[in-house]
Amino acid sequence: MLKIAHQTSAQVTVDKVQDGQHQTQQDTLAEETPIALVYNGVSHAVMLASPADLEDFALGFSLAENIIDNPKQLYSIEVEVQTEGVALQMQVASACFAELKQRRRTMAGRTGCGLCGAESLTQALRLPEQSVSRASPVSLQEIHQALNALPKHQSLQQVTGATHACAWANLHGEILLVREDVGRHNALDKLVGARARQMQAGVDGAGFFVTTSRASYEMVQKTAAADIALLVAVSAPTALAVRLAEQLEITLIGFARANQMVIYTDKQGLIK
């Protein structure tokens, strides 16, 4: 039986070859663990994810996938460690569960897989009902500030080199929250959940998202679900992601580096 771990990383012995020389040494690897998302006793999705910040993952996934409309509709979360992985046992409002059963989605996720299991194109390419709220514009200097600060918040990436991070920064470019995961979608779901909890506690939700990954359609989709008007990605967006960002009036930036970036949509969200 394949051994399933419940830690975020593991030590392994490797044979490193450099300049023709072999050296035995220890290496740290990021773990992947099957995470089942169970609603009112019914399993809805199984994702391979980093087994950390699982309450944030449960809430963020539920919000980003439109299973619930607000955090109050998620009544409880129980993290149940099992031999085969981890089950997130959630109780949601009956109306939300009834709608979920109607969708009949059976997502079996791979690492970073976002649209697995949607039964129709309509389900896969679902759109928010309205454009995101327009926050105060952000300057390029504040975006660079967040980009420069992000690496020091990536503790798991520093030891494994195998994880993505998603960050929420305020309008001054100060990073408020970071979540890491082996999958970029999982990292963003965790961030959406953590931010929702902060907002419930009275923290101002204005700001923008930064991701260390490419900007796929679903990354823009999840950003819109969180009502965030600016997404900054260190890699490229897809064409479909750009079209969605244009439709929802989201400012989308790609190839973001310390000294450069490409602005794809809605320059009105930026201070030049």
For 86-118, what is each residue's pLDDT tens digit? 999 999 999 999 999 887 544 444 444 444 444
99, 106 Cβ separation under 8 angstroms: no
Give the mean pLDDT of 213-220. 92
Dist. CA 272–CA 269, nearest whole Å? 10
Domains along the sequence of the chain with CATH: 33-124 (3.10.20.10), 138-271 (3.40.140.10)
Residue 113 annotated in active site:
yes
- Say what the pLDDT of residue 112 is: 46
Extended beta strands in the chain, E state? 9-18, 21-30, 33-39, 42-49, 74-82, 85-92, 107-108, 138-139, 164-169, 175-181, 208-211, 230-233, 251-254, 262-265, 270-271
Dist. CA 144–CA 123, nearest whole Å? 36
pLDDT band at 11 (very low <50, low <70, confident <90, very high): confident
Which residue out of 96, 113, 116, 166 is catalytically annotated?
Answer: 113
Q: How many CB atoms lie within 10 A of CB 157?
A: 17
- Say what the pLDDT of residue 64 is: 93
68, 96 Cβ separation under 8 angstroms: yes
**138 or 127: which carries more pLDDT confidence?**
138
pLDDT band at 6 (very low <50, low <70, confident <90, very high): confident
- Say what the pLDDT of residue 195 is: 98
Residues 6+ apart with CB under 8 A from 164: 112, 157, 180, 181, 182, 183, 184, 187, 211, 212, 213
Provide the sign of the torsion angle of the four alpha carbons 5, 2, 23, 50, taken in this order: negative
- Say what the pLDDT of residue 114 is: 44
**232 or 121: which carries more pLDDT confidence?**
232
